[in-house]
Structure 1
Amino acid sequence: MSVLDILKERGFVQQLTHEEEIAELLAKEKITFYIGFDPTADSLHVGHFLGMMVMAHMQRAGHRPICLIGGGTAMVGDPSGKADMRKMLTLEDIRHNGERFKKQMQRFIDFADGKALMLNNADWLLGLNYIEFLRDIGVHFSVNRMLTAECFKQRLEKGLSFLEFNYMLMQGYDFLELNRRCNCIMQMGGDDQWSNILAGADLIRRKESKPAYGLTFTLLTTSDGRKMGKTEKGALWLDAEKTSPYDFYQYWRNVDDQDVEKCLALLTFLPMGEVRRLGALQDKEINVAKKTLAFEVTKLIHGQKEAEKARQAAEALFGGNGNFDNVPTVSITADSLGSRLLDILAGAGIIASKSEGRRLIQQGGLYIGDAKVTDPDLLLTLDLFDNNSLIIRKGKKHYHRITM
C-alpha cells in the first residue's frame, strides 16, 4: 500500500492537483514536499495536528518533509479563513515561535541527517526588491482569478488590504524558492489553502517548465461541521504549559461518539483494522474507544509518562479510586483562608473570571467535592479542606485540586 493509499484510507485527502501522477510519483519515487506553519503563537495547536500527522506518514514512507515557518508571510498575515486582519509580529517573536514549533514537531518528525528540514521564508522574502518581484512574479498572477479564490471571499466583505492581497504571491513564491533550493515538488496544506497551493504549482510550471503538485487534507471538524480544538479556555494547545496533559486528555476523552472513529484514523497510528473495531463500538462500550483515543493522542503530543498520568488522574476522578495525585493542582498558602472562593479560583486560573464563576453557580455547575456551591460570596475556610486538599468541579467533567 502506497502512502497515498494510507492517507486516503485514513481520511486525510481532500483535493489533489493531478491524482494519477501523484499516485505514481509517491509509489515509485522519494520526493521532497512542504507544509507551511504560521508562527503567530509560541505553540502549535490542535489545528496543526493533521499537518504533522501527514508529514509523519510521508516521512515513514521515505519522503522528505520541509516544515516552512512563515517568518516573512507572518509579517503580512494570511487572510485565509479570517474575517479580520491579523496582528503584526516582530522578527524576534517569529524566531522564538519557530524554535518552539520545532521542539513540538520533533515528537513526530525526524530532523536528523537532513531527513526533514525546517526553513523560514523570511530568508528569501525579506530581501526582495519590490519592483523586481512584481516584474518577475506578479506578472504571472491574474487579479480576476485571485478575486475568485475562497481565501479572499470572507475578507472582501469587510475590506481586503493590499498588504494581504500580496499573500498569495508570496506563498506561490515560497513554493518556487523551495523547488529551486531543495527540489521540492509538492505542497500540502489544509483545504483552506487550496487556492494558494494551486498558485504556487502554476508558478513553478510557468517559471521552471517543470511539474509541481498540490494536495490538501481535510480540516479537523466535528460531525456537525464545527472546528475541533476549541475549549472553554480557548485553543487546545500542544504546549503543556498552555493546555495541561490532563486537560488535553480529557478533551479527547469527551469527543462526540460520532467523531471517535475519524479521530482515531486521523490522529493516531493505530492500524485501521483496530480503528474500525473501536469505532464500531456502541453505547457504553464506546467509552473504551474514547479512552484509547485520549491515551494515544496524549502520548503522541506529551509522551508515554504524561499520558499515563492523565489517564490515572481521569480514573481517579471518574473511577472513584481516590488517588488525585495527577489531577491539575494549584497550591495556595494559609493566608488565602478567609478570601472569597471565586477570588481564589479566578486568581488560580481555574475559572476565567469571577463573572464566569457567578454564572456557573447560578446554573448549578460549581462544586466542592460533591457539594454544590450556591453562594457566590462563599469564603474559603479550613473546614472545606480534607487533608489540606479540596476538589473543585466545574460542570460534569472538569476537575481541579487546591492544596494548602
Structure 2
Amino acid sequence: MAGLAKGNNPLQQWHHLFAASDNSKNGEAQAHMQQLLREGLPDRKQENWKYTSLDALSRYVFVPPQTTLPGRDVRDGLALPMDAVCVVLVNGRYSPELSDDPTACGFRVQWQNHPGSVPDAIQQEIFLHLTESMAPGVLHIEVPPERVTDKPLVLMNISMSSGNDHDALPFSHTRCHLTLGSNSKATVIEYYASQHTQAHFTGARLSIVAGENSELHHVKLGFENPRAYHFSHNDLWVNQDCRVFSNSYLLGGQLVRHHTSGRIDGENATVRINSLALPVGREVCDSRTWLAHNKGYGNSRQLHKTIVQDTARAVFNGQITVAPHAIKTDGQMTNNNLLLGRLAEVDTKPQLEIYADDVKCSHGATVGRIDNEQLFYLQTRGISQSAARRMIIYAFAAELTDAIADESLRGVVLERIGLRLPEERQ
C-alpha cells in the first residue's frame, strides 16, 4: 500500500467491513472487492494521483454507518427550497419513509437490495470498485418513453453519524441508476449533505442511460461538511439525438474527487458537462472528465472553473476522445482557474485524442489571480475592496451559476459560494 502514511491500513479495514456485510455473498460485489485488493491503493508516483494525496485516510478507523433514520425535521432542514419531488437516501440506503411519491410526477423508483443489474463503468477506478462492492443496494430510477416529467427529482443523499469519536470515519456508499426512455425529458438534482460536523467518507456512483431523442438536465450539489471525504463517479451513455446537460457544483469537503465519464453512442447528440469548485483552507478538489465521441455529428462543450483560496488545491484532468469515423464531431473543453491565496495551487491537464478526420475539437486552460486594475477601477467607484473582490468572484462564477434554470436553486448555490468566501469565514 505504497504512498500511505504508517498507521491504520484502509485497504485491510475495507476488506474487513466487506466481509462482515451482506454484500460478501454477492458475486458482483465480490469481484469488485477482489479487483480493489489486486490493484491496491494508489500512491503519488502514479500520474492520476500525482497531486492528490490519500495519506489522511490512514489516520482513521473506518466504521459502518448508523442505520437509524433521522426524523422528518432533519430531512426538511436539509431540503432544497424548490418545488421538486424528493427521494431520500440515508447513508446509502433508500428511505421511502422520508421520500415523496415520485410516481405522480412521472418517475418510477425501485430499490434493489444488492448491487448488480447495472452497466459496467465506462472508466474503471479504484474507488469505483470500492463503492460497487460496499453499496448496500441500487436505487433504480426510470422515466418512461414519451414522458415529460412534471417536476425535478431531487436525490437527497444524507450522511448521518452518532458519536464524537475523532478517530472514527463513518463509511457509506450510494448507488443510483437512471434510465430515460426515448423521447422523454427530465431534471434530476443529485444532492449530498451532511447532517453532522463529524468527518465521514462518502462513496457514490450515478449511472445514466439516455434513450433516443431524450433530454436530461442533471445538477450535482456537493454540499457536505468541511471534514468530509467524497469520492464519486457519474457515467453517461448518450444515444442518438439526445441532449444531456450536466452541471456539478463541488462546494464542500476536505477531499473531493469527482469523475464524470461519457460515451456518445448515437449521432446528432448534444452534451454539456460543466463544473464549479471552490476549495478553501487546506481542502483538495480533484475533478476529472472523460468523454468519447463514438458516433459522428455530435456536439459537446465542457466548461470547468475553480476558485482556489488559502492553501487549498484544485486538480482538473479532462479528455475528449474522437473515435474513427466519428466525422463532423464538434468538441470543446475549457478549464479556467482563479487563485485567491498566495499559496493556493491548481494543476490542470486537458487532453484530446482524435482518430477521425473532418472534426473540430479544441481545449484550453487558464490560471490567474484577481486583476489589481479591476479592483482599483471598482474602488474608484466607491466600492470597498472586499465588496469589489466579491463582485469579481461572482462574475467569474456567473457563467456556471446562470446555467441553473430554477431561481431558488440558483440562490442556494450563490449562498453556498458566499459562505465560502474569506469575509464570511472570519
In the superposition, the TM-score normalised over structure 1's length comes to: 0.25
Work out which structure has the larger RCO, using CA pairs closer than 8 Å and 6 or more positions apart in sequence: 1
In the superposition, the TM-score normalised over structure 2's length comes to: 0.24
Structure with greater Cα Rg: 1
> By percentage of residues, which structure has more strand?
2
> By percentage of residues, which structure has more helix?
1
